[in-house]
Structure 1
Amino acid sequence: MSNEEVAYDLTPLIKVYKDGRVERLQGTATVPPSTVQSKDIVISQQPPVSARLYLPKSTETKLPLLVYFHGGGFCINSAFSPKYHNYLNSLVSEAKVVAVSVEYRLAPENPLPAAYDDSWAALKWVASHFDGTRNVDEEDDDWLSSYADSQRVFFSGDSCGATLAHYMGVRIGSEGLVGVKLIGVVLVDPYFWGEELIGGEITLPAAEREFIAALWRFTYPSTIGSDDPLINPQKDPKFGELGCGKVLVFVAELDVLKYRGLYYGEALRKSGWNGVVEVIETKGKDHNYHLSDPTCENAVAMQKKIVSFLN
C-alpha cells in the first residue's frame, strides 16, 4: 500500500492516510504563555487533559471566571495555538477576568465524545477549587482559588468550541456542579447541524452541506448522524435545562453555519428555558473572522460586546 493513499480528505482541515498517518493542514502551531500572566496546567494524565490559565495584571478583587473551549472541528487547533493565545490575552486584559482555556483531545486519534468528556473533566477540576474536594497534593495553581469568583462563571467558545460550551451549560443545568454558579454562555459561530435543512441551508451548495455532515461523522464515527443531540441541540431532551440565565450568540452572514445559530436562539426561547438570549449577525463576514482579522471593526465591536456581557 502506498503511504500516500488517502482514507479521509477533509481539506482544508485534515487528511488521514490509509496507513494511519494523520496530517493536520492548519492549527498545529503553539506559543508559550506570555503577555498577561498565563501558565499551563495539567488537569489529568489519563486521559491527557490540560489548560492554559490567564490572569490580568491587576487583581485586587475577585474576578469573573471564563472557561473557554477552542474551535477547529474537533480535529485541529489547540488551547496553545497562537490565535487562541492572542485572543484570550486580549479578552482577559480588556474584560478583567480569570480564564481557563481547555486543551481537550482531538479526533481522529481520540474520536468523539472524547472532547465532551475532557471538557466536563476540566469543569470538575475548576469546581474542585471551590467545593472543598481539591487534593492538596495535586499540582497547585492558586490562581483560581485566590482570584476567581466561583459565583460568576461564564463559558465561551467558537465553532465546535461553542458546541462544547453549550453542552457543558446544559450538563451544568441538568446535573449541577457543586462550587460554581454559571451566569452566562457566549457562542461564536457555533457548529450545530441537523438532518433536516432549515432556513437558507437549502440554497447552500451541496458540497458545503456535505462537508459539515462529513466532518461530524469523521470525528464521531459511532454517531447516529447529524441529529445526534451532541450536534443538534433541538434533538436534546435536556435542551431547555441550560444552566444559566443569559446567552449571547454571534453568527456571520457568509458562514454556512449561520442558520443553525439563528435557529438556536429561536428554539431556546421556545424551549421553556427561563433566560434571555441575544443573537447578533455580522454582515459581510465569514466563519471565525474575529480570529483571522482580530483588529477589524467588527471584531473589535464583538469583543466590546463580550466584555460587557462578562461584566
Structure 2
Amino acid sequence: MNPDDEIVYDTTPRFIRVFKSGRVERYVCTDATAASVDPATGVSSKDVLISPETGVSARLYIPRLREGDRPEQKLPVLVYFHGGGFCLGSAFMPLYHNHLNSLVAQAHVVAVSADYRLAPEHPVPTAHDDSWTVLRWVAGHAGRGGPAAEAWLAERADFERVFLAGESAGANIAHHMAMRAGIGGLPCGVRIRGVALIHPYFLGSDRVESAEIHPAKTENLETQWRTMCPSSSGLDDPMINPVAEAAPSLAGLGCGRALVCVGGEDALRDRGRAYYRRLREWMGRGGDAVRGGRESAHFPSLRDGL
C-alpha cells in the first residue's frame, strides 16, 4: 500500500477520514442553505465576507418586528460558533441555519454565525483565529457608520448586550473568544456580557467517570484532537483543557455571566462539569453569575458518532 494512503483518523461511514498524505474525505452533508427570509419564523438572514484574504465569512440573522417594536429598536447581539470537532460543519448547513432561525425568533436578537476554516487542512487554532476575526469585526460596528457598515449591526445592534454561544467545538471556541476579549479587549470598548457553552468539547489527561459511558467515543475524541491540532502539547493543552494546571486562570474570562450545559449521556459531560466548578470558584468571588445544574441533550450537534 502506498504510505500516503495510510489512514490517520477515520469515523466513516458517517463523518470524516484523514490520510497521512493530508487528503481529507468528508461524508457528512455539506450542502448549504441559502440565506433568506424563513417562512416559519420571519427571521431574515444574509451572508457577509469578512476577510477576503482568508475567506472567513458569517451569516447574519435579524428577527421580524414584533407588535409594538420600533424599526430603530436596538437588539442584543449573539455571536454563535458552530460545532463539528473543528473539522466538520459550516454556518450555512441546514442544521445550524435552522437552529439560528429558531433561536433568533425566540430570543429576539441579532445573531452572527461565524464560518471558520476547518481542520485538518487548517489546523487548530485556525478556527479560533478566524472566529476572533469575526468577533472583532462585529465589535467594530459599535463605532462604525457609513456605507461600509453592515446596517443590521450598525443600526440595530445593542453593543451593551453582546453574548457568545457555541456547542461542542463551538463551545470551546466561545470560551477562548471570551478569554481573548477579557485579556486583550475588543474594538470600540465592547465587552462581552455572557457566554453559553453547550456540551463543550474539553478534554484532559485525568480520567473522569463520564469517559466510561462511551469509552470508544472518548478515545476517538482524543485522537480527533491530536489530528486536528498536531502542534498540541496533548490532552492538557490549554486549548482543549481550560482547567489544566498550565491554562490561564478563568478569572480572565471577559464576561461576568456564563451558562454551561452538558449532555446526560455525553462522554465529555464531566469535563463540562469541571469547567463549571472552576467558574464558580472565581465568579462567586467577583463575577455576576454562573448557571449550571441542568443537563441538556437536545441541541444541534455533529459530535454523536464521532
State the TM-score, normalizing by the size of structure 1.
0.85
Contact 1:242 1:273 in 2 (8 A): no
* Cα 1:273/1:116, change in 2 over 3 Å: farther
Contact 2:211 2:268 in 1 (8 A): no
Counterpart selection for 1:282 from 285, 295, 298: 295
Partner of 1:31: 33
Partner of 1:242: 253
Counterpart selection for 1:216 from 222, 225, 232: 225
Partner of 1:295: none
Superposed CA deviations along residues 39-69 of structure 1, whole A, max 9, x for unmatched, are 0000001222100000111162100000000
Matched, 1:149 2:161: no
Partner of 1:296: none
Question: How many correspondences in the alignment?
Answer: 284
Q: Matches of 1:150 and 1:129 in 2, distance apart?
A: 9
The Cα shift of 1:5 comes to 4.9
Matched, 1:15 2:27: no
* Cα 1:238/1:137, change in 2 over 3 Å: farther
Q: Matches of 1:237 and 1:102 in 2, distance apart?
A: 25
The Cα shift of 1:25 comes to 2.0
The Cα shift of 1:173 comes to 1.1
Q: Matches of 1:156 and 1:8 in 2, distance apart?
A: 28
Partner of 1:195: 205
Q: Matches of 2:82 and 2:286 in 1, distance apart?
A: 26
Q: Partner of 2:187: helix, strand, or coil? A: coil
User: How is 1:1-311 mapped onto 2 (pairs within 5 angstroms)?
Assistant: 5-11=6-12, 12-34=14-36, 35=38, 36-58=43-65, 60=70, 61-132=73-144, 138=148, 140-179=149-188, 180-198=190-208, 200-201=209-210, 203-235=212-244, 236-271=247-282, 274-282=287-295, 285=297, 289-291=298-300
* Cα 1:281/1:25, change in 2 over 3 Å: farther
* Cα 1:155/1:161, change in 2 over 3 Å: same
Contact 2:212 2:267 in 1 (8 A): no
The Cα shift of 1:275 comes to 3.1
Contact 1:27 1:76 in 2 (8 A): no
Q: Partner of 2:294: helix, strand, or coil? A: strand
* Cα 1:4/1:220, change in 2 over 3 Å: closer
Q: Matches of 2:6 and 2:243 in 1, distance apart?
A: 38
Q: Partner of 1:291: helix, strand, or coil? A: coil
Q: Matches of 1:220 and 1:101 in 2, distance apart?
A: 23
Q: Matches of 1:27 and 1:188 in 2, distance apart?
A: 22
Q: Partner of 1:85: helix, strand, or coil? A: helix
Q: Matches of 2:242 and 2:6 in 1, distance apart?
A: 36
Q: Matches of 1:207 and 1:197 in 2, distance apart?
A: 14
Q: Partner of 2:234: helix, strand, or coil? A: coil
Q: Matches of 1:112 and 1:100 in 2, distance apart?
A: 21
Amino acid in structure 2 at the alignment position of 1:187: L
The Cα shift of 1:4 comes to 6.2
Q: Matches of 1:119 and 1:164 in 2, distance apart?
A: 8
Q: Matches of 1:137 and 1:209 in 2, distance apart?
A: 49
Q: Which moved more, 1:224-233 or 1:269-278?
A: 269-278
Structure 1 unaligned blocks of 5 or more: 293-311
Q: Partner of 1:282: helix, strand, or coil? A: coil
State the TM-score, normalizing by the size of structure 2.
0.86
Amino acid in structure 2 at the alignment position of 1:267: R
* Cα 1:178/1:202, change in 2 over 3 Å: closer
Q: State the superposition RMSD in angstroms.
A: 2.0
